[in-house]
A = this chain, B = another copy of it.
Amino acid sequence: MGKEKVTIYTIAEELNMTPSMVSRAFKPDGKVNEKKRQLILETAERMGFEQNRMASRLSMKPIRIATLIYGRFPGYYDEMVRGVEAASRDLSDYKVTNRLFVMPFGEYSQEDAYRVLDEVEADKYDGLVLHGLYGEDVAQRIDRLTDAGVVVCTLHNDILSCRRLFTSMSDTELTGSMAAQLLSIFLPPNRNRMVLFSGSMKSMVHQTLSFSFIRHAEERGMTLLRHYATEDYPERAAEQVRDAFETYSGIDGIYISSANSAPILRYLEENRLGDRVAVVASDVFQELSAYMRKGIVNATIYQDPYRQGKRAFEGLFYYIADGIKPNSYLMTPPQIVMTSNLSVYERWKNDD
């Protein structure tokens, strides 16, 4: 079994060619006689050659990626940032670097964010991970970046009709279905009237999520009393939950499909509705943890922002470095969290 390591030298020797010849044969645009290329590729295959991407990248110029996070909920986008940074660290030996711009929604204006895009374009970065920017303007900017040679991927949200390479997001269709099943489990026997609090209907993510939930909830025989779009504004959510309980007498369950759950849960606590109403929430952050432990929230659906961020950066790198085109959507499966496994997801306590 004494199989020697097979390199481009081994192959070159076997074929009486030079190593550079072999090297070039693997680059799609390398200048090589097509016949020889075929020959090289075949014998490489036969000899069990495996490119050492390490040595390869070592002799190539560094890859520069920028990450712009225009985030709403710190507990959420912090995790995405951690994921991006983890990927960047894991791949740093391949000479990729990440330039990170974290701009919380309240502290920075949209103009500030656009200025970063300018910089990314001017500095000719190789790739961009983009989160939290929406709308037609952004679509155009992304196309401009793409034309300038910057590969763009969006994180957590997609931006339609533009030439971003892919989107790394949570599987919203799946999330809706899981939420429906969870809520149906926690609903009191023979009771099935519930309310949905979602994010903004201008966002694709929340659209598909809401749609999926409603569909699956109906399949399970639940009745949707009302769908409130909180638009990610806490005050809005506070008003709406009050409205809900004033308008409808028998609310048995609530699904909060965005991270904007605190005002709603506070209302439930203050009005001692905790064990009368089944609640399924989204994500895991400090405030929510507390409500879970108090028994206000029965379960929550963790969207794994860490993994979303990680996969975004990785996808970008593998495309830029190796030309491996990822699927248009990298869907990260969400996970079910209840009190028994809550500690696993309280990342601010762990240090892994």
Residues on A close to B: CB < 8 A?
A: 5, 50, 52-55, 57-58, 62, 92-95, 174, 177-178, 180-182, 185-186, 189, 216, 333-336, 338-341, 343-344
CB-nearest residue of chain B to A180: B340
In the complex, what distance in Å separates the CA atom of A340 from the CA atom of B185? 12
In the complex, what distance in Å separates the CA atom of A173 from the CA atom of B58? 44
B333 touches A174 (CB 8 A): no
In the complex, what distance in Å separates the CA atom of A57 from the CA atom of B50? 16
Q: Which of A57, A186, A336, A339 has the most CB of B within 10 A?
A: A336
A interface SS class: helix
Q: Which residues of B contact A50 (CB under 8 A)?
A: 92
B338 touches A335 (CB 8 A): no
Pick the contact of A341: B92, B336, B344 (CB < 8 A): B336
CB-nearest residue of chain B to A57: B54
Pick the contact of A53: B5, B62, B93 (CB < 8 A): B93
B181 touches A339 (CB 8 A): yes
In the complex, what distance in Å separates the CA atom of A54 from the CA atom of B321? 15
B338 touches A336 (CB 8 A): yes
Closest Cβ–Cβ distance, residue A215 to chain B (whole Å): 12
Q: Which residues of B contact A343 (CB under 8 A)?
A: 174
In the complex, what distance in Å separates the CA atom of A344 from the CA atom of B93? 32
Pick the contact of A340: B57, B92, B216, B339 (CB < 8 A): B216
In the complex, what distance in Å separates the CA atom of A95 from the CA atom of B55? 11
CB-nearest residue of chain B to A334: B341
CB-nearest residue of chain B to A55: B58
A181 touches B338 (CB 8 A): yes
CB-nearest residue of chain B to A189: B189
Pick the contact of A62: B5, B92, B95, B185 (CB < 8 A): B5
Pick the contact of A178: B57, B62, B93, B341 (CB < 8 A): B341
Please, could you name 26 A-B residue pairs with CB atoms under 8 Å apart, sorted by A?
A: A5-B62, A54-B54, A54-B57, A54-B58, A54-B93, A54-B94, A55-B58, A58-B58, A174-B340, A174-B341, A174-B344, A177-B340, A177-B341, A178-B338, A178-B340, A178-B341, A180-B340, A181-B339, A181-B340, A182-B340, A185-B186, A189-B189, A334-B341, A335-B335, A335-B336, A336-B336
In the complex, what distance in Å separates the CA atom of A335 from the CA atom of B177? 17
